[in-house]
Amino acid sequence: MKTIFDILKETHALITNDHFVYTSGKHGSVYINKDAIYPHTQKASEVGLLFAEKTKDLQVDVVAAPALGSIILSQWTAYHLSKLKNKEVLGVYTEKTTDKNQIFTRGYDKLVAGKNILVIEDLTTTGGSVAKVVNTVKSVGGNVLSVGVMIDRSINGMTEEMIGAPFFTLGVLPAEAFDEKECPLCQKNIPINTNVGHGKKYLEEKKASS
C-alpha cells in the first residue's frame, strides 16, 4: 500500500524552500498544499483508506473533522471504514465560529451524541484546531476513540495531552514555524508565497492595518 508521502509526491502537494504563512499565522519554509490532493478523488480516497486501515479494529460509529479540507478526508475515511467493517460509519464535520472555535451545526451534534468518534485532521502544527474538535465532540456527549492526523508538522511532536485524546499520524514532517517578528525568512526579505497558504490574506491584512 502507498504511504502518505507517496500520495503527496504524486499530487505535487509538498513544497519546500519558500516563504509561507500557515493557518496558525506563523511563518515557515515548508508547506503541504493539501488542496492539491482533493481534486484527485482517487488520491483523496487513498488517504481515507490509510486512515481506515489504521482504525479498522476500533468500534467507530462516526468520523468527525474540522471544515473545510478535512471534510473530504472524513468522508473518504467513513466510506472505507464502512466497507471494511460492513456497517454504516457516518462522516460529519464541525464549522469554525467567529471566535475561532469548532462546533457542530446542521444537527450533526445529534449524530455524535452517545457514539464512538474518530476525529480526522489533515495537518497539525500546534494541534489547536483538532483539540477544539475533540472538546466539542465531548461536549455534545460523543466518545473520542482516537484522533488521526494526516501529517504532523510540529517540531516536538503532538502528544495525547495536547490534543485531549489518543492519536496517530500517517506521517511526520517537522516544519519549523516562526512568529513574524522572529522569522528568518522575513529578515532576509524573502517574498511571501501568495499562491498557497495564508500569505495573500496576511499581506492584505498587513497593508490594511498600515
Residue 16's DSSP bridge partners are: none
Residue 172 CA to residue 19 CA, distance in Å, equals 20
> Rounded to whole angstroms, how far apart are CA atoms 78 and 84?
10
How would you write the pLDDT of the chain (210 residues) with one tens digit per residue? 799 999 999 999 999 899 999 878 899 999 999 999 999 999 999 999 999 999 999 999 999 999 988 999 999 999 999 999 999 999 999 999 999 899 999 999 999 999 999 999 999 877 888 999 999 999 999 999 999 999 998 877 788 888 989 999 999 998 788 999 999 999 999 999 999 989 999 999 988 987
CATH class for domain 4-199?
alpha beta
Strand duo 116-124 + 62-66: pairing = parallel
Sequence ranges of the domains in the chain? 4-199
| Overall pTM surpassing 0.85 (yes/no) | yes
DSSP-assigned letter for residue 31: E
Residue 56's contacts (CB-CB under 8 Å, 6 or more residues apart) are 81, 84, 85
Condensed to tens digits (0 to 9), the pLDDT of residues 8-18 reads 999 999 998 99
Residue 33 CA to residue 59 CA, distance in Å, equals 31
Helix, strand, or coil here: 146? strand
